[in-house]
Amino acid sequence: MIRINDDLDIDESELDYEFARSSGPGGQNVNKVETKVTLKFDIAASRSLNDLQKSRIADGLASRITKDGILRVTSQRHRTREANRHAAIARFIELVDDALEERAPRKPTRVSRAAQRRRIEGKKRRGHVKRLRKPPPMDD
């Protein structure tokens, strides 16, 4: 079981791992060893999450979720497959915990009267400067 927070544990059997060769420098090791780890988590098929949690994760992590509803987390920072697997799990826990956090509703604010006045005065000043650039009217 992977502990996300005090209220949620996700069964490790719900996670799939995909391994590939890492990019970037690393000498001969990078060319022959598949150390990059992609953790995949099917949100819709998860038995550990309730519907509210599924929708919060889907909304909060929309950019990381595929069209099929699979959350993907990748790690290729370390030189070993196991270290990258642990890093991917740690990042997965962090992302899911953050997505499940209840956000306080936004309170709409108003622009202060002083700020409105400054804005209008600035516009008037700018208009005056532009008027001064015009050639004087031709009197016949």
Per DSSP, the residues of the chain read -EEEETTEEE-GGGEEEEEEPPPS--THHHHH---EEEEEEESTT-SS--HHHHHHHHHHTGGGB-TTSEEEEEE--SSSHHHHHHHHHHHHHHHHHHHHSPPPPPPP----HHHHHHHHHHHHHHHHHHHHHSPPPPP-
42 is a domain residue: yes
Mean pLDDT of the chain: 80
Q: What is the pLDDT of residue 131?
A: 92
pLDDT mean over 116-131? 96
123 is a domain residue: no
User: Model confidence at 132, in pLDDT bands (50, 70, 90)?
Assistant: very high
Supply the DSSP string of 33-44, one letter for each residue: ---EEEEEEEST
pLDDT in tens, 44-77: 777 777 777 777 777 777 787 778 877 787 887 7
Q: What is the pLDDT of residue 60?
A: 75
Q: Provide the CATH number for the domain around residue 59.
A: 3.30.160.20
pLDDT in tens, 20-39: 776 656 666 656 667 778 88
114 is a domain residue: no
118 is a domain residue: no
Q: What is the pLDDT of residue 111?
A: 94
Q: Can you give the residue range of the structural domain that contains 71?
A: 2-100
124 is a domain residue: no
34 is a domain residue: yes
Lowest mean pLDDT among 12-21, 67-76, 128-137: 12-21
29 is a domain residue: yes
pTM of the model: 0.59
CA distance 22 to 78: 9
Residue 84: is its pLDDT beyond 70? yes
Q: What is the pLDDT of residue 9?
A: 67
Q: What is the pLDDT of residue 27?
A: 60
| CA angle, residues 28, 29, 35, in degrees to nearest 5 | 150
Structure token pair of residue 20: 């590939």
129 is a domain residue: no
- Number of domains into which the chain is organized: 1
Residue 8: is its pLDDT beyond 80? no
